[in-house]
Amino acid sequence: MEPLKEMYSRDWVLGLGNHINRVDSNIKPLEFQKQVFSSPWKEMELKQRIDRLSDVLVQNWQGPIADIYPNIISLIHSLREEGVSDFNFPYIFLNDIVTKTGLDDFDSSMKALEKITVFSSAEFAIRFFYKHHFQKTLKQMQTWSKHKEPFVRRLASEGSRPMLPWGIGIPEIKQNPEIHLSILKTLWDDENEIVRRSVANHLNDISKLNPDLVLEFCETRFGKSKELDKNLKHALRTLLKKGNKKSLSFFSYNTKWKPAKINLTLNKKEIKVGDSLEFEVSINQTPKDTTKIRIENKIGFLLGSGKHGYKVFQLGERNLLPKEKIKITKRHSFAPITTRVYYPGIHTISILLNGNEYKLQKFELKGLKSKNV
């Protein structure tokens, strides 16, 4: 699969240049393409390439955001006329133009981001304004939480997340995650799924910092609809994986239940990076109980420090009838991925049933699998 950074191909950038030329005839498409692809483009990662696109436009559209804003809006209009859809990630660099030219003009910048975020999310850009104008930005986000446009409402939640991936850190938010509760209370049952999902992710962030706050928030909101309950479950996913008893009780998982018998069988005790670990879980229910169970496996990945980092993977949920016996066969790939470094050595695997751990086993991960194998 091609790296995401390659979405900015020469043809794509030239096409963008053609649209920019319609807005500003002083910018020639081929010259714009040349500026974007100047060295060291090939070595640049995705965020650096996004930064390059905004830098080139800032260089060509010199001036404050109040002067540049009309060009950005005209460019978006031109792209939409050609069928480019809203909420389009590749155009996220348009928000960076605002952060690079508008930090000293809060009102004009908010006007710009309110429009741009509908076309390409301003969730990363808004955090620079938290950094420089915290209280004013907080007030703006509270106002946006009631906006008629769903992508603007989403920004009020997504842009204020305590642990937004890719977003710059805002200590005031991380230290006081409850500061945006009024926004989450407004948006948790929003009519638009993209807004509700952002609230769930925001609450999940908070659960890593203040679990009790999220448990209290969710506890009084169950039962309004199956769809909203599902979203609350998504908000509690980290606590569920950690075996938090209160979060499990919300979904009728009995944490005191124990199976009559459980086995975990590995197909190998040694595997190489590039291979998969296959395992089978067998569970026997007790003679008289019918139990709702949540089945997960937990892998302890050896880290460079020699310690283990743990990750939980869900295997299923079901009602287990009296004396019922089930088997689950699963395969976990250790193929190289960009988001994890595999270290040769002893790893672990265990099974979680309703948050309780069973049958911890060890296996050895060896070096990279030979391409000739």
CATH code of residue 302: 2.60.40.10
Instruction: Report the alpha-carbon distance of residue 228 to residue 232 in Å, rounded.
Output: 6
Rounded CA separation 372/359 (Å): 35
Is 44 part of any domain?
A: yes
| Domain stops at, among 223, 250, 277 | 250
- As for how many domains the chain has, the answer is 2
SS3 367: strand
Rounded to whole angstroms, the Cα distance separating 56 from 59 reads: 5
Structure tokens at 271: 């595997």
Strand-pair category, 308-320 with 270-273: unpaired
Confidence of residue 336 (pLDDT cuts 50, 70, 90): confident
- Average pLDDT value for residue range 275-291: 96
Q: Is the pLDDT of residue 370 over 80?
A: no
Residue that finishes a domain, picked among 190, 221, 250? 250
Sheet containing 308-320, strands listed edge to edge, beginning at the edge strand earlier in sequence:
270-273, 356-368, 345-353, 291-302, 308-320
Is residue 209 included in any domain, yes or no? yes
Range of the domain at 270: 261-368
**Angle, in degrees to the nearest 10, between helices 46-60 and 93-101:** 60
Q: What DSSP string describes 253-298?
A: --TT---SEEEEEES-SEEEETBEEEEEEEEE--SS--EEEEEEEE
Based on the fold, state whether residues 225 and 186 are members of the same structural domain: yes
| Same domain, yes or no: 237 and 295 | no
Report whether 206 contacts 260 (CB < 8 A).
Answer: no
**145 and 91 in a common domain:** yes
Query: Is residue 77 in some structural domain?
Result: yes
pTM of the entire predicted model: 0.92
Instruction: Evaluate if residue 315 carries a pLDDT over 60.
Output: yes
Q: What is the token pair recorded at 246?
A: 């209160």
Q: Please identify which residue in the block is written with the tokens 């910018």.
A: 27
How far, in Å, CA of 156 to CA of 144, rounded?
Answer: 6
Query: Span 79-95, mean pLDDT?
Result: 97
Q: Do 87 and 169 share a domain, yes or no?
A: yes
Provide CB contacts within 8 A for 328, sequence distance 6+: 280, 281, 282, 283, 295, 315, 316
Q: Tell me: do 64 and 202 sit in the same domain.
A: yes
Q: Is 71 within a domain?
A: yes
Looking at the fold, whether 124 and 52 belong to one and the same domain comes out as yes
Where residue 160 falls among pLDDT bands split at 50, 70, 90?
Answer: very high
Q: What is the mean pLDDT of the chain?
A: 96
Query: Does residue 73 sit in the same domain as residue 188?
Result: yes
- Here the CATH number for the domain that contains residue 105 is 1.25.40.290
Residue 369 has pLDDT above 80, yes or no: no
Please check whether residue 243 is in contact with residue 352, taking contact to mean a CB–CB distance below 8 angstroms. Answer: yes
> Are 231 and 352 found together in one domain?
no
Domain identity same for 122 and 224: yes
Question: Would the pLDDT of 276 be above 70?
Answer: yes
- Please report the pLDDT score of residue 339 as a whole number: 81
Checking if the pLDDT of 373 tops 70, the result is: no
Within a domain: 373: no
Among 218, 250, 282, the domain boundary falls at 250
Q: Residue 344 — very low, low, confident or very high, per pLDDT cuts 50/70/90?
A: very high
- Report yes or no on 255 lying in a domain: no
**3-class DSSP state of 183:** helix
Chain segment 23-73, per-residue pLDDT in tens: 999 999 999 999 999 999 999 999 999 999 999 999 999 999 999 999 999
Per-residue pLDDT tens over the stretch 175-229: 999 999 999 999 999 999 999 999 999 999 999 999 999 999 999 999 999 999 9
Residue 192 falls inside a structural domain: yes
pLDDT attached to residue 26: 96
Name the pLDDT band for 338 (thresholds 50, 70, 90): confident
- Biggest CA–CA distance in the chain, Å, is 80
The pLDDT value recorded for residue 1 is 72
pLDDT of residue 180: 97
Do 157 and 220 have their domain in common? yes
Q: Which amino acid is at 297?
A: N
Higher-confidence position of 115 and 368: 115
For the chain, what percent of residues have pLDDT higher than 90? 96
User: CA-to-CA distance for 146 and 186, rounded, in angstroms?
Assistant: 8
Report pLDDT for 371.
45
Rg (CA), the chain: 25
Assess whether 265 and 123 both reside in one domain.
no
In a domain, 147, yes or no: yes
Residues 201 and 283 in one domain: no
